[in-house]
A = this chain, B = another copy of it.
């Protein structure tokens, strides 16, 4: 009999990595908590320490884990800093990120539109929660945005005690048990309509940067849709190409 010629070879460290992602997904490794040491993990998974290390290193480079020499390996969590800085690309004219303030305009639940259902991977016209808010940088209104999440993922969010926290991703993680781990953004230029112009204190028809974001949790599941309109007179969106 011929031996099997690796019809679907998958390296050990990738299998280990997948098991680790499972633990992150089901929260047996919760955000902010510390993992067992490399040696313990190696013993537990029955592989060498080098193999565990390769899996951990990949998860670290994907920002799912954070390692610190002498202290240990931790599950990345949405601290205020991470939410505000890692997932907000607006910089001022010195290329520095500022801390935004948020002002809630409205929050309500309703049926998902067809395009929202597609973007969020929902079936038909399920219920969603919509949040409108404005954000200021250094006291000046710069962003007006609408946020859409499935009611299934955030039950009761529309009745959450106000004010909502500035950093929604922290809220999702702490109160609703899912973590945003990556996102894609589509940028276009649009003209301000009357409502946007009012929120941003510009004239109707002024050019605005429109940022449509879909945020994903582990394994690229979409969890949030966000459309932000940004006034770019004194700020710009910074993108690094490598």
Complex: A169 Cα to B187 Cα, angstroms: 24
Complex: A242 Cα to B240 Cα, angstroms: 12
Q: A44-83: which residues lie under 8 A (CB-CB) from chain B? A: 61-63
Cβ contacts A178-193/B at 8 Å (1 or 0 each): 0000111111111100
Please tell me if the beta carbons of B236 and A188 are within 8 angstroms of each other in the complex: yes
The closest CB in chain B to the CB of A238 belongs to B186
Let me know if A205 is at the binding interface, CB within 8 A.
yes
A241 and B86 in contact, given A188-B236, A189-B189, A190-B189 (Cβ under 8 angstroms): yes
Contact surface of A with B, Cβ cutoff 8 Å:
61-63, 86-87, 89, 91, 182-191, 205-210, 212, 230, 232, 236-242
Complex: A13 Cα to B191 Cα, angstroms: 51
In the complex, how many angstroms separate the beta carbon of A178 from the nearest chain B beta carbon? 17
The closest CB in chain B to the CB of A209 belongs to B189
Please tell me if the beta carbons of B242 and A239 are within 8 angstroms of each other in the complex: no
A209 partner, pick from B61, B62, B187, beta carbons under 8 A: B187
Please tell me if the beta carbons of B186 and A237 are within 8 angstroms of each other in the complex: yes
Complex: A212 Cα to B91 Cα, angstroms: 14
Sort A-B residue pairs by CB-CB distance and give the 8 closest, nearest first: A188-B232, A189-B207, A189-B189, A207-B207, A187-B237, A186-B236, A189-B209, A183-B241
